[in-house]
Amino acid sequence: MKKKLIFIFLLGLSTFGFAQKSEIGGMVGGSFYLGELNPTTLFGSTRPAGALLYRYNFNPRWALKANILFAEVTASDAVNNNQYPRNLSFRSPITEISAQVELNFFNLYNIPARNHFSPYIFTGISVFSFNPKAELNGRWYDLQSFGTEGQGLEGEPDPYSLVSMAIPFGMGLKWNLGKYFSVGAEWGMRLTFTDYLDDVSGVYYDQDVLIQQRGEVVAQLADRSVEKNMPGTQRGDATINDWYSFAALTFTFRIGNEDTSCQIRYKAKPKRNNSGRKH
């Protein structure tokens, strides 16, 4: 009886394709930003970026992905937006935690004789931290605490938060290399809920007040143009939030949680009796 059970079990394994539902891996690529200091140039001033990811495949079409992204974005008027005489610049580290839903265009399998390749699209929600900095006379300064647009002064808004949310969305390609490995490429945009990724959003604040309340360094970082701007003149565009983007190569390894939903079905051969007739 025991031998029969083992035989039935092995026969079952031979007639079903098992595909691991869970994947862990990483992403290596680059990041860039779109905002007041780089309004239109895709991949302008791209910086290295990377991520750790976990993917759970519900079926050959749908998957849920969670990742932790580490990136940096940077831009300057001089390099990315020289039509403005503001002479502003910044760089900011970004740490993002996100959950995303992926939809494969084709059914995607990691078993023989099935499709191993598919483009996909994704969207989700993310929380990220940032901290814009600017360089002056060889030293880098954290801009949020300085209130370069008057934040925190009497009658002005509080300093903006260094934690915000974003909506990631984009597209990619997946290629399953056998049963356990997968590689791909992905490009995604992040529509953020902040306009201060670059510390630029509103209007120029009174230079004399900034010098008196915050000091000469803050006043210089707030307005770096050759001819200083009048208080209240436009410094940024508060009606449009900033964006950042992440493009990368991906690699994952499948672990545990066997999925028996993707089956390979073989047509049973008709049996023959002793007379040679099929039945």
Ordered domains of the chain (ranges, CATH): 18-257 (2.40.160.20)
Of 107, 222, 126, give the one whose Cα is nearest residue 169: 126
Residue 104's contacts (CB-CB under 8 Å, 6 or more residues apart) are 60, 61, 62, 63, 118, 119, 120, 174
Cα gap 116→109, rounded to integer Å: 5
Phi first, then psi: give them for residue 129, nearest 5 degrees. Answer: -110, 150
Identity of residue 119:
P
Token pair belonging to 98: 């996100």
Is residue 4 within 8 Å of 20, Cβ to Cβ?
no
What is the per-residue pLDDT for 242? 98
Q: CB 267: neighbour CB atoms within 10 A?
A: 5
In eight-state DSSP terms, residue 145 is G
Q: Is the pTM of this model over 0.85?
A: no
Look up tokens 């932790």; give the residue: 68
The per-residue pLDDT for range 205-264, each reduced to its tens digit, is 999 999 999 999 999 999 999 888 999 999 999 999 999 999 999 999 998 755 444 443
Cα gap 215→219, rounded to integer Å: 7
In eight-state DSSP terms, residue 147 is T
The per-residue pLDDT for range 135-188, each reduced to its tens digit, is 999 999 999 999 999 999 999 999 999 999 999 999 999 999 988 999 999 999
Identity of residue 218:
V
